[in-house]
Amino acid sequence: MAIPHTHADILDKEGFAHVATIGPQGSPQSNPVWYDWDGKYLKISQTTTRQKYRNLQRDPRVAISITDPDNPYRYLEIRGRLDRVEDDDRNAFINVLAKKYLDQDVYPWAQPDEHRIVLFFSPERTTTMG
């Protein structure tokens, strides 16, 4: 699934992706998160103890909306599913996001006992506005 060229620029900005998953009782759960786009996958960082990760283990479907930080009336919505999970070895990916969002080389809120992972989402459908 290709991201529409009219809204692909949003994926290069420092916006927040609101990632919605399905909770254990079937209700939606949504949080804003940092993200990265590699041209094929939307990637986010997560820890294995978070509800979002448990939701995705049970049901890999997601809806992700990203508002253009330069124009709040313009957005991109991606519907898809979790494609794969990888370990974030030495917090390399979260450090990339810290550089993008905070201009810091190291993620400042890392906890020594947390197991960080990278979630890869495959877009299946998109909608846009603006």
Q: What is the pLDDT of residues 15-58, one digit of tens each?
A: 999 999 999 999 999 999 999 999 999 999 999 999 999 999 99
Q: Give the Cβ contact number of residue 28 at 10 Å.
A: 10
- Indicate if the pLDDT at residue 1 is higher than 90: no
For residue 62, what are the contacts with CB-CB under 8 A and spacing of at least 6? 19, 20, 21, 56, 78, 79, 80, 81, 82, 121
Say if domain 8-129 classifies as CATH 2.30.110.10: yes
Give residue 2's pLDDT: 82
Question: pTM value?
Answer: 0.94
Domain edges within the chain: 8-129
pLDDT in tens, 67-124: 999 999 999 999 999 999 999 999 999 999 999 999 999 999 999 899 999 999 999 9
